[in-house]
Amino acid sequence: MSKILLFSEFLLSLEPIIVLHISMDVSAKTAISKLAESLHKQTNFTKKECEHLLHMYRELAGADDVKLDRSKFKDILHCSFGMTDAMMIDHVFRAFDTDFDSSISQEEWLKGMSTFLRGTLDEKTQFAFRAYDLNSNGMISREEIFQLLKATLIKQPVEEDPDEGVRDLVEIVFKKFDTQKKGVIDYAQFKAMVAEEPLLLQALGPCLPDEKSADAFLCTFEELHLPTTISYIKTGSQR
Amino acid sequence: MGLTLTKAADWLDNSKLDFSPSNQIILTDILKAVDGYSKNNPIGGKMKFSEPLVWDSTLKFEDFKKTERFPETSQEVAHVECHSFDMLQLVLDACRSKKTAEVRACLEGNSDPVSKILGNRYACNTEDDVEFYKQAEEDLQGEDITYEEFETKKVVLKMAMEFHNLDVRMLRSVQGLMSKDSRLSPRLVEAEFDCLKELSGSEDEQPLRDIEPVPCYVHVFSNGYRAPNFRQLQGDIAYFLVYLKDTDVICVTAGTKGWFVNKGYSKDTNDVDFERRSDLYGSLFALLRERSRHFRERTSRKSGDGETAADEAADGAEKPDQEGDADQQAAREEAEERKKDPTLRWVSLGTSEQQSQERRSARQPQSAAAAAQQSDESDSESGTDEEEDAVERRHESNADLPSEYWQIGKFVRYLKGGNQTSTIISLCALRDFQLNTEVCQLAIRDVGGLEVLLNLLETEENRCKIGSLKILKEISQNPQIRRAIADLGGLQTLVNILKEPSKDLKCLAAETIANVAKFRRARRIVRQHGGIRKLVSLLDCPALNGPTSPEIERDIEVARCGALALWSLSNSTKNKRAMKRAGVIPLLGKLLKSRHEDMLIPVVGTLQECASEPDYRVAIRTEGMVEDLVKNLKSDNAELQMHCASTIFKCAEEEETRDLVRSYDGLEPMVGLLNKTDNKELLSAATGAIWKCSMSSKNIRKFQELNVIEKLVRLLSDQPEEVLVNVVGALGEMAAEKENRHAIRKAGGIGPLVQLLTGTNQALLVNTTRAVGRCAQEKENMAIIDRMDGVRLLWSLLKNPNPEVQASAAYAICPCIDNVNDAGEMVRSYVGGLELIVHLLRSDNIKVLAAICAAVASIAKDEENLAVLTDHGVIPLLAGLTRTQDEELKRHLSEAIACCCAWGNNRIVFGKEGAVAPLVSYLRVKDPKVHRSTARALHELSRHPDNCITMHECGVVRHLLGLVGSDDEALQLAASGCIANIRRLAMANEKSRQSSKARGGGNGGANGKAVAAK
């Protein structure tokens, strides 16, 4: 008898904590599910997938009402998507951060991930353009390309001008994209060229995850199995 | 030049110069020195020789008249005497093109010309030059000489120096030649023998039938020689019998100096007549190429990819260029002098000649191993490879390289030294070049781009792999690039990529394989690395004609690329089998239902290739693919139609398939294709399909409704031979029916058909003779054929080397003779015609024999001709054939025997030659046609008592009794006639026995029973 009493007392003593926890969880959950409900149509995810991503967001942010900041986001890109180039990670962060507040909101997170993981060619083109447009002025200039490409070639000490090769590459890229001789690459030119040769989508550096890490990231929660990369070849109807 | 002539020149026993390459060089060198000498040295030219040069000239008297100045030679031009270089010059001028021959004659007449020209003191001293210098010194130091004498001596000395220099020069060039002239060793001989043994076989594409060591010298001595000791001393290594396809057996000797044909091996004495009967050849391959046309064709067959014989010649000429020695000149002259030695090509077939392998491996590191591998594997695909010998065309210098070279070189450098981003950019930049031009394709290879591109395929970066494959796919359209990719081991990598999950990669890799696998070695590599199974699995495409999404389109694309690759691979027999084992047939059947032409063309193309295998033909029928093939015949795409028609062409060998084509209404679209006269490939395929389909009588009826004959006859003019073969084949099949034979005449087809008999294409001739023969069954047709002298043309085709043509022409002659008026006179008018017929009875081809027997039967109906045939000895030949096992031959042979009995004592001769007993055995054959002609022959033969006895001993009566009950009246008549003859003999026997009380009742008893049964 006494044992039973003791146990009920124990339960009572626990009650406030449990209730508190449940209430917090419930409110967060409903918030997440509401947000997922409203946003999933704008993304390439199902509602459940959105919820999962939002839970993940909360966990990464550490608490409710805290936005993902640059360093935490960088960790994800680095650990989950194998991106190592600090410069490029910065650029990707800027492409995610559509309102330029140096942090990533839940909405930005969902939409960014949607493009990042399941984007169509158009979405990915836009995303890449944002990443490459370093000063976010809607145009990519020669200098920006130089910045993006300067580390791509292995520097050979014997060469007189180590940047000569890079400048050459910049010229190649510029000539390729600037079909209308505008002196800068605007989005229309970029999009047209990428549509013609999808390999050029990431011509200025890897701003999108590779197929393997994207698949690995998605496989824990995906409901639909959709391709994570675009098709680089032209099939029947496109020819 | 004395030294050269005594030491280096090859003298024959009769003090003549041999016609060897080194002599040729010496002669040309001397000629060069002498010709024009007097012009360059007026004083030396006038100087009188110390003794005149005397020789028997090759010139004729008239030759001199043409020159302006008459030389001071004796009137008999056969004997020339020259006292100075001026005179020599005159003689040479008279020679014109025969200068070398004249120099040869001069040297043969004066073995040491220098001593004659300059005096004995300068006679050839073989040991050293001391004598020469002493002489010179003495000459110059003589004290009591006048100025003129001194001058003369100077001239003499100068000339002596010049001769000496010439000597040195010639020795050097001859030495250069000798160093090239490698002697054969037993090892090389055995290697070549093994290699040829690999290549030999009965199939048509194999260059020779067989090669074996001569039976009496099979043993290999410990030193590697096969020749007996006393011949080893003469330089012989081994003796081989080579069985060629087009000529008889030749017996060759391998000696240390080279290969040659000897006087042959005799079975009776079991020995070889060692005497040389041909030129020397550096390799047996060269010898056989010279001897056998078939061998030459099979070893130099080229693909249609644009490699030409001219390129091959360029390859041959490349060798001296690469070596770049001073003795190039000698090598070239040798090449001009002799027939070009094709050893180079031979090497690329994979002999183990070490020296040449080194040369080859220097150029392409991996191909030597590949070649070795090739000779290891005794493959159904042995023989030469169309592209295996693709020619290297290197740019000589960097000066005239196009600008693309530098740009491409730069991009390839960025590919090597950068991360994936710069790699992608460089790949995209490379893609902007005109990759379909040879300049760019070869530039990529030459700057080492292929290695980098293939390396990229082994990285983890999908985008780099895709970019690289996109370039490889384009440039692999070039045959040289294909070879290079295979040599670099690229095919293995490509096959591995097929395993990748990325569909883009699968597509591109399959497409690249489709391009590369255009030559046999590549196809084999793909098979050996398990590529076929992987490619076949690509064909498994879940949704084909449903609603499309990008994903489904990608799946379809994967299947399409897989089909493309299999299409290329299906060129090899082993691959076809591997594909079947991998389960390709149902998958192809499924893809055949596709609506996309892009998909259908490779699928039908693969089927077309595979339909050469009977298994596939059955599968195509049983898997219901005929319906789809017929459906696609109606497509708008000419290429697709062409492949469908070709597939039907191949499959319609089988009767069930022909019926299926008809039941799916495939004949109408086929006939419709006949209107597309511009597209010759399509026309050829369509007419081929019609030809094969018209082998069924029901199809013929359908074709009649469609007025095919008129259309086909219209195609008889102005078409390439591929089309004509099929058109004529179809007409030949159609002409099996009487109505059609008339229709062909009414459409005006007889004339063109007869004209085609004058052609040379063997396949066409076979078909044409067949068609003409069938048409000749109608009197009206025969009248036209006779008017155009068609029978004479047919007769002349009996001389064609191809036995099929011979047989077909002989069959065609039969109805002609049967249906022409006054056939006997016509046949006699062909001079030597009957002799030719009798001669052909010695052929070793069963089909020819059967056909000629049929012709003999027709000819022998005219008594006079039969008499001529008999004179030519037809009877023993026919009797000799009776032991054959071939039913067709049996039929025509007995028919011929029946017809030939009518003359003189032929019956008796047949009996004596032992033809009767085998004929009786023919009655055991199942074919009623054989029975019929045999019964006729026996009936004719039974008119002579000896034959009757033989027949009876062989138990003919039992068989004949069975035949009497046949439905065939002619057979009945012949059988009963034969029995009656036997019976009559028995009766006569009985009678004589009764009168003379002699024995012989047994026969009578048996025959009595026979007649009773009748």
What is the least distance, in Å, from the CA of A201 to any CA of chain B?
A: 10
* Residue B39 and residue B7 share a domain: yes
* Residue B218 and residue B175 share a domain: no
pTM value is 0.63
Tell whether the model's pLDDT for residue B425 goes beyond 70. yes
- Report the distance separating Cα B496 and Cα B486, nearest Å: 14
B420 chain-A contacts, CB cut-off 8 A: 206
CATH number at residue B920: 1.25.10.10
- Report the distance separating Cα B133 and Cα B139, nearest Å: 10
Q: How far is CA B677 from CA B457, B567, B680, in A?
A: 46, 27, 7
- Report the distance separating Cα B105 and Cα B443, nearest Å: 55
In terms of Cα–Cα distance, which of B938, B933, B866 is closest to B902? Answer: B866
- Report the distance separating Cα B808 and Cα B732, nearest Å: 12
Q: Confirm or reject contact between A231 and chain B (CB < 8 A).
A: yes
Question: Mean of the pLDDT values across residues B255-266?
Answer: 84
- Report the distance separating Cα B342 and Cα B335, nearest Å: 11
Q: How confident is the model at residue B602 (pLDDT cuts 50, 70, 90)?
A: very high
User: Do the beta carbons of residue B456 and residue B465 sit within 8 Å?
Assistant: yes
What is the least distance, in Å, from the CA of B407 to any CA of chain A?
A: 11
Q: Which residue has the higher pLDDT, B785 or B379?
A: B785
- pLDDT of B147: 73
Q: Which long-range contacts (CB under 8 A, 24 or more apart) does B692-695 make?
A: B692/B648, B692/B649, B692/B650, B692/B652, B692/B653, B692/B658, B693/B648, B693/B652, B693/B658, B693/B661, B693/B662, B693/B666, B693/B667, B694/B730, B694/B733, B694/B734, B695/B652, B695/B655, B695/B658, B695/B733
B501 chain-A contacts, CB cut-off 8 A: 211
Task: State which of B179, B211, B241 marks the end of a domain.
Answer: B179
Among residues 34-63 of chain A, which lie with CB inside 8 Å of chain B? none
Taking an 8 Å cut-off on Cβ atoms, the answer to whether A236 and B553 are in contact is: yes
* Residue B137 and residue B247 share a domain: no
In terms of Cα–Cα distance, which of B566, B578, B488 is closest to B530? Answer: B578
Q: Confirm or reject contact between B425 and chain A (CB < 8 A).
A: yes
- Report the distance separating Cα B993 and Cα B28, nearest Å: 94
Tokens 């098709």 sit on residue:
A231
- pLDDT of B605: 93
Residue B219's CB: how many other CB atoms inside 10 A? 9
* Residue B138 and residue B255 share a domain: no
In terms of Cα–Cα distance, which of B535, B537, B541, B554 is closest to B494? Answer: B535
Q: In a 10 Å sphere around its CB, with 0-12 CB exposed, 13-18 middle and 19+ buried, how is residue B644 labelled?
A: buried
- pLDDT tens profile B649-658: 998 888 888 8
Tell whether the model's pLDDT for residue A206 goes beyond 90. no
Instruction: Name the β-bridge partners of B25.
Output: none
- pLDDT of B833: 85
Considering only B118-122, B219-223, B733-737, B952-956, which range has the smallest mean pLDDT? B118-122
- pLDDT tens profile B788-798: 888 888 888 88
Among residues 477-536 of chain B, which lie with CB inside 8 Å of chain A? 501-504, 507-508
Q: How confident is the model at residue B522 (pLDDT cuts 50, 70, 90)?
A: very high
What is the least distance, in Å, from the CA of A153 to any CA of chain B?
A: 4
Taking an 8 Å cut-off on Cβ atoms, the answer to whether B504 and A236 are in contact is: no
Query: In the 8-state DSSP scheme, what is residue B221?
Result: P
- Report the distance separating Cα B191 and Cα B384, nearest Å: 17
Q: Which residue of A has its CA nearest to B557?
A: A235
Q: pLDDT averaged over chain B? A: 79
Question: Mean of the pLDDT values across residues B280-288?
Answer: 82
Q: Strand runs (DSSP E) across B199-323, as ranges?
A: 208-213, 236-244, 249-255, 258-266, 271-276
Tell whether the model's pLDDT for residue A32 goes beyond 90. no
A83 chain-B contacts, CB cut-off 8 A: none
The proportion of chain B whose per-residue pLDDT surpasses 90, expressed as a percent, equals 13
- Report the distance separating Cα B256 and Cα B232, nearest Å: 9
* Residue B168 and residue B34 share a domain: yes
Q: How many residues are given for chain A?
A: 239
- pLDDT of B186: 83
In terms of Cα–Cα distance, which of B728, B738, B656, B742 is closest to B699? Answer: B656
Q: How confident is the model at residue B131 (pLDDT cuts 50, 70, 90)?
A: low
Ranges of H-type helices in B502-624: 503-516, 520-528, 531-538, 550-569, 573-581, 584-591, 597-610, 614-622
Does residue B191 fall inside a structural domain? yes
- pLDDT of B145: 62
Q: Confirm or reject contact between B456 and chain A (CB < 8 A).
A: no
Question: Mean of the pLDDT values across residues B219-241?
Answer: 84
Task: State which of B179, B196, B231 marks the end of a domain.
Answer: B179
Does residue B146 fall inside a structural domain? yes
Residue A51's CB: how many other CB atoms inside 10 A? 20
Residue A11's CB: how many other CB atoms inside 10 A? 10
Tell whether the model's pLDDT for residue B358 goes beyond 60. no
- Report the distance separating Cα B442 and Cα B432, nearest Å: 16
- Report the distance separating Cα A75 and Cα A68, nearest Å: 11
What is the least distance, in Å, from the CA of A202 to any CA of chain B?
A: 8
User: Do the beta carbons of residue B771 and residue B733 sit within 8 Å?
Assistant: no
Residue in B418, B425, B551 nearest the CB of A172: B425
Does residue B468 fall inside a structural domain? no
User: Do the beta carbons of residue A193 and residue A176 sit within 8 Å?
Assistant: yes
Question: Mean of the pLDDT values across residues B791-806?
Answer: 89
Question: Mean of the pLDDT values across residues A113-120?
Answer: 88
- pLDDT tens profile B936-950: 888 888 888 888 888
* Residue B142 and residue B13 share a domain: yes
Q: Confirm or reject contact between B1000 and chain A (CB < 8 A).
A: no
A232 chain-B contacts, CB cut-off 8 A: 463, 466, 504
Q: In a 10 Å sphere around its CB, with 0-12 CB exposed, 13-18 middle and 19+ buried, how is residue A239 labelled?
A: exposed
Q: How far is CA B510 from CA B36, B445, B587, in A?
A: 68, 21, 17
The proportion of chain B whose per-residue pLDDT surpasses 70, expressed as a percent, equals 82
* Residue B174 and residue B230 share a domain: no
- pLDDT tens profile B982-1004: 888 888 888 888 887 644 444 44
Burial B146-162 (b: 16+ CB within 10 A, else e): eeeeeebbebbbebbee
Does residue B914 fall inside a structural domain? yes
Q: Confirm or reject contact between A232 and chain B (CB < 8 A).
A: yes
What is the least distance, in Å, from the CA of B419 to any CA of chain A?
A: 5
* Residue B252 and residue B172 share a domain: no
Tell whether the model's pLDDT for residue B375 goes beyond 70. no
Question: Mean of the pLDDT values across residues B21-47?
Answer: 78
Tell whether the model's pLDDT for residue A76 goes beyond 70. yes
Going by C-beta distance under 8 Å and a sequence separation of 6 or more, which residues neighbour residue B375?
B195, B198, B350, B351, B352
Task: State which of B284, B299, B314 marks the end of a domain.
Answer: B299
The proportion of chain A whose per-residue pLDDT surpasses 70, expressed as a percent, equals 85
- pLDDT of B150: 75
Taking an 8 Å cut-off on Cβ atoms, the answer to whether A233 and B428 are in contact is: no
What is the least distance, in Å, from the CA of A210 to any CA of chain B?
A: 8
Taking an 8 Å cut-off on Cβ atoms, the answer to whether A235 and B462 are in contact is: no
Q: Confirm or reject contact between A123 and chain B (CB < 8 A).
A: no
Q: What is the set of domains in chain A, with CATH numbers?
A: 1-224 (1.10.238.10)
- pLDDT tens profile B808-826: 999 998 888 888 888 888 8
Does residue B171 fall inside a structural domain? yes
- pLDDT of B1011: 44
Does residue B425 fall inside a structural domain? no
* Residue B209 and residue B146 share a domain: no
Going by C-beta distance under 8 Å and a sequence separation of 6 or more, which residues neighbour residue B491?
B485, B513, B516, B517, B522, B525, B526, B529, B531
What is the least distance, in Å, from the CA of A236 to any CA of chain B?
A: 6
User: Do the beta carbons of residue B192 and residue B283 sit within 8 Å?
Assistant: yes
* Residue B190 and residue B175 share a domain: no
Q: Confirm or reject contact between B459 and chain A (CB < 8 A).
A: no
Instruction: Name the β-bridge partners of B261.
Output: B252
User: Do the beta carbons of residue B762 and residue B722 sit within 8 Å?
Assistant: no
Q: Confirm or reject contact between A172 and chain B (CB < 8 A).
A: yes
Taking an 8 Å cut-off on Cβ atoms, the answer to whether B428 and A156 are in contact is: no
Number of separate domains in chain B: 3
Does residue B162 fall inside a structural domain? yes
Tell whether the model's pLDDT for residue B802 goes beyond 80. yes
- pLDDT of B1013: 40
Q: How confident is the model at residue B496 (pLDDT cuts 50, 70, 90)?
A: very high
Estimate to the nearest angstrom the gap between the alpha carbon of B336 and the chain centroid.
25
- pLDDT tens profile B690-722: 999 988 888 888 888 888 888 888 888 888 888
* Residue B269 and residue B154 share a domain: no
Q: Confirm or reject contact between B474 and chain A (CB < 8 A).
A: no
Considering only B63-72, B702-711, B903-912, which range has the smallest mean pLDDT? B63-72
In terms of Cα–Cα distance, which of B573, B574, B665, B657 is closest to B620? Answer: B657
User: Do the beta carbons of residue B658 and residue B702 sit within 8 Å?
Assistant: no
B470 chain-A contacts, CB cut-off 8 A: 199
Domain of residue B219: give its range.
Answer: 186-299
- Report the distance separating Cα B671 and Cα B709, nearest Å: 10
Considering only A156-160, B588-592, B726-730, which range has the smallest mean pLDDT? A156-160
Tell whether the model's pLDDT for residue B644 goes beyond 50. yes
- pLDDT tens profile B555-578: 888 999 999 999 999 998 899 999
- State both tokens at B440: 């760019």
In terms of Cα–Cα distance, which of B906, B938, B901, B939 is closest to B921? Answer: B938
- State both tokens at B408: 């491409």
* Residue B191 and residue B164 share a domain: no
Residue B846's CB: how many other CB atoms inside 10 A? 16
Among residues 589-628 of chain B, which lie with CB inside 8 Å of chain A? 596, 598
Q: Confirm or reject contact between B431 and chain A (CB < 8 A).
A: yes
Q: pLDDT averaged over chain A? A: 81
Taking an 8 Å cut-off on Cβ atoms, the answer to whether B553 and A149 are in contact is: no
Q: How confident is the model at residue B363 (pLDDT cuts 50, 70, 90)?
A: very low
Q: Confirm or reject contact between A170 and chain B (CB < 8 A).
A: no
Tell whether the model's pLDDT for residue A84 goes beyond 60. yes
Q: For chains A and B, what is the number of CB pairs under 8 angstroms? A: 90
Q: Confirm or reject contact between A204 and chain B (CB < 8 A).
A: yes
Please calculate the CA angle B477-B481-B482 and round it to the nearest 5 degrees.
70
Rg (CA), chain B: 39
Ranges of H-type helices in B860-944: 863-871, 874-881, 887-900, 906-912, 916-922, 928-941
Q: In a 10 Å sphere around its CB, with 0-12 CB exposed, 13-18 middle and 19+ buried, how is residue B561 labelled?
A: buried
Query: In the 8-state DSSP scheme, what is residue B262?
Result: E
- pLDDT of B912: 85
Q: Confirm or reject contact between A151 and chain B (CB < 8 A).
A: yes
Q: Which long-range contacts (CB under 8 A, 24 or more apart) does B542-548 make?
A: B544/B590, B544/B591, B544/B593, B544/B594, B545/B593, B545/B594, B545/B595, B548/A236, B548/A237
Does residue B355 fall inside a structural domain? no
